[in-house]
């Protein structure tokens, strides 16, 4: 069978899971990766892997050759859409890609400053068939971005007060992505992907405590204290400011909307937070980091940069 599907964003959180889903379904696909050696180590060698770099136009032709549908992830480090993302989209469309499934964010339609808004506009203007997967906050932020605080200090410290978030498991986003890439009827659609409930961080801390059999505390520092703390932890100022902006939006109640799109598309309820905590429990266990199954923790080794939208 010929390969008509391209996956980007692997071996990242969602891209890795899309690879697993497509393998499970059994359709041929190509993975366009930033670093071939790392990707082969993490994803395995029995895949069609090609070097793809948004910033290197010389990688476009081999990446897009023969591709009709693609899963597009904006790497968190690339924020200048016109300079960093647009050339690859243009090349993909020119090469004959007919459908682009884009990992976007919940509420993007009301948030013109995020890169995802500009990417959606680019896709709408390009004439390509689009499928927007507007995802809420990943549960996996707790096993990547916030993992060290929980693992080392039994603490989640975020400036969101008691606001709720409709967390989604990255595996559900991937399952939807694989579905819309392989089934007809999803072109020019906008799906908002959330979990089945919205939790506040007191509930998250208490669920993690129950799973880990130790007390995880949720502290809610002021925004200024949060920024100072992130900088003291060595985070870059730009990254800290984006994270703060996202959590400020959450604090004002804008991350709590729950939709039925995952269940409607997959025919099953979204993965619940308790299941996520159980599946990823080794992320937060003392001295257990090296035991984590690679397929469960694609980006634990890069435990800092997941949350940036
Ligand atoms: N976290 C959330 O709660 C959330 C919610 C909604 C939407 N999102 C959005 O989801 C996206 C991130 O998804 P994710 O967490 O699955 O990603 P991720 O784990 O950060 O992985 C990003 C992937 O992009 C690759 N990459 C980096 N630079 C590249 C380049 N120049 N060319 C090609 N590939 C490159 C990385 O490869 P290397 O590792 O080899 O560099 C990695 O495989 C972001 O756009 C984010 O805003 C996040």
222-233 per-position pLDDT tens digit = 999 999 998 998
Residue to probe by mutation, ligand 1, list 76, 144, 165, most atoms within 8 Å of CB: 76
DSSP classification of residue 270: P
CATH class label, 5-137+168-193: alpha beta
* Atom nearest to 39 CA in ligand 1: 40
**Are 5-137+168-193 and 139-165+196-256+272-289 in the same CATH fold?**
no
Residues in contact with ligand 1 (CB, 6 Å cut-off): 9-15, 34-35, 38, 52-55, 73-77, 103, 105, 135, 137-138, 141, 299, 305-309
pLDDT tens, position by position, 126-151:
999 999 999 999 999 999 989 999 99
Q: Any idea where the domains of the chain sit in the sequence?
A: 5-137+168-193, 139-165+196-256+272-289
pTM of the model: 0.93
The answer to whether 281 and 216 have CB atoms below 8 angstroms apart is: no
* Preceding omega of 94 cis (within 30 degrees of 0): no
Between the alpha carbon of residue 147 and those of residues 197, 286, 306, the distances in Å are 22, 11, 11
CATH level 2 (architecture), domain 139-165+196-256+272-289:
Alpha-Beta Complex (3.90)
CA of 77 to the centre of ligand 1 (A): 8
Residue nearest to atom 19 of ligand 1 (CA): 12
**Cα–Cα distance for residue pair 217/120, rounded to 1 Å:** 38
* Atom nearest to 53 CA in ligand 1: 32
pLDDT tens, position by position, 84-125:
999 999 999 999 999 999 999 999 998 888 899 999 999 999
């Amino acid at each position: 069978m010929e390969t008509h599907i391209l996956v980007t964003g692997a071996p990242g959180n969602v891209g890795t899971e899309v690879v697993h889903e497509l393998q499970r379904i059994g359709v041929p696909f190509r993975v366009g990766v930033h670093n071939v050696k790392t990707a082969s180590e993490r994803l395995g060698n029995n895949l069609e892997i090609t070097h793809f770099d948004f910033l290197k136009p010389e990688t476009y032709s081999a990446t897009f050759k023969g591709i009709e549908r693609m899963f597009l992830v904006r790497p968190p480090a690339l924020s200048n859409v016109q300079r960093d993302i647009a050339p690859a989209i243009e090349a993909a469309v020119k090469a004959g890609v007919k459908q682009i499934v884009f990992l976007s964010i919940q509420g993007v339609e009301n948030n013109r400053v995020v890169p995802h808004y500009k990417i959606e506009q680019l896709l709408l203007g390009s004439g390509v068939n689009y499928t927007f997967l507007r995802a809420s906050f990943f549960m996996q932020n707790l096993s990547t971005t916030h993992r060290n605080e929980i693992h080392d200090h039994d603490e989640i410290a975020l400036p969101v007060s008691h606001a709720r978030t409709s967390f989604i498991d990255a595996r559900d986003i991937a399952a939807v992505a694989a579905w819309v890439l392989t089934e007809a009827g999803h072109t020019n659609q906008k799906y908002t992907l959330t979990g089945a409930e919205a939790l506040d961080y007191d509930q998250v801390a208490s669920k993690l405590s129950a799973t880990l059999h130790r007390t995880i505390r949720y502290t809610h520092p002021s925004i200024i204290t949060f920024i100072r703390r992130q900088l003291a932890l060595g985070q870059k100022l730009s990254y800290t400011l984006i994270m703060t902006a996202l959590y400020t939006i959450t604090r004002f109640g804008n991350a709590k909307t729950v939709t039925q799109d995952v269940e409607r598309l997959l025919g099953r309820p979204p993965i619940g937070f308790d299941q996520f905590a159980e599946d990823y429990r080794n992320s937060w266990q003392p001295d257990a980091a090296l035991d984590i199954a690679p397929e469960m923790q694609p980006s634990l080794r890069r435990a800092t940069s997941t949350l940036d939208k």
